[in-house]
A and B are shown apart, each in its own frame.
Chain A
């Protein structure tokens, strides 16, 4: 066997061995990873709908609570989660995923609104790649908790649902503090969140009107 051929065969065999090893480990962990992600989503949906969940609530309890209180329906190509009170038929609110381009990469989040679709119950940003300590602060509590009780109305012309303004210059209930030092992230969040809210709110308003 020539030297070159030996190298090729050696590399092939060693790649085969390690690729099989890695595949086996991945395969064994696949289910756990998927269920971790599902649980994370369930926790977030419960949180934005203000269904009390502690950080240390056991996972099976979260799943049970989610099964009892949340139903999902398809709105065109997106999912809408409907939250119910403990009696299981009074609607407590709606939750829906939002997302759009951030400064460095896509941002994803979840928004909860009340059953009359008049205000925000809660919001959470779940996935982003913004600069840690600057744009990354969208996941901090002070930022997301500002959205609580944000009044909702249809977008009319240029008037947006909410504005992010430099901290200290905000007054009206639809003006929230932007993140200092992260102007691009703030304006990206303002843009995609207004768009997504508008889209879902229109769908929801139609649904609420039909119900009444």
Chain B
């Protein structure tokens, strides 16, 4: 069982040091797709946090019983089940957002972060550590998505969470609503992060 400081370390690695979007460049499809409105971004984040944490926890709990050769099948089954549950709950209780997110909720299944964490961490680590790893990674993902939405929604629609934030007469940057706007924003964030984040390979600080 990892001690307290290593638990913190596990959590912070996912959240920042080894951020899934900036460092591992995973989950990019949904990062680009849902970030033009903050509301959609928050729902997507909630869905992903739930799925990653629960999948990692479940895979970890079953890690000593799952036969090695069929572990991928088991992981996919677990992930798919949680995603269907999320999709069904959003459809029932947040129909407008479900419509806006379209197929992306169901596509959480294909988000590489989830399977990545199951394979890289949860199948070899105890449940609590796996849960924390999932939580760190999914919050790290959420942090970047929220940052991008925070840039795209005001510039593209002149609003934030649907509330007008830009002055009257502000010309909306239509490109920020569409995919290219997301690419530019994400690219700039990755670029900046290269300078801020410590270099993972050799720990050498850049000038």
Contacts and interface: CB of A to CB of B under 8 A. Distances in A.
Nearest to A15: B77
Nearest to B178: A133
Contact of B74 (A3, A11, A22, A32): A11
A18 B84 CA distance: 11
Given A14-B77, A22-B85, A36 B67 contact: no
B93 interface: yes
B92 A21 contact: no
B170 interface: no
A15 B62 CA distance: 13
A36 B91 contact: yes
A3 B67 contact: yes
Nearest to A23: B84
Interface in A2-41: 3, 6-7, 10-11, 14-15, 18-19, 21-22, 25-26, 29, 32-33, 36, 40
A125 to B, nearest CB: 13
**Interface size range of chain B in the complex:** 20 to 34
Interface in B108-156: none
Q: Most chain-A CB neighbours within 10 Å: which of B65, B69, B88, B177?
A: B88
Contact of B92 (A7, A22, A33): A33
Contact of B93 (A3, A32, A132): A32
Contacts of B91: 29, 33, 36
Contacts of A22: 81, 84-85
A135 B93 CA distance: 29
A7 B70 contact: yes
Contacts of B67: 3, 6-7, 10
A19 B78 CA distance: 10
Interface of B: 62, 65-67, 69-70, 73-74, 77-78, 81, 84-85, 88-89, 91-93, 95, 177-178
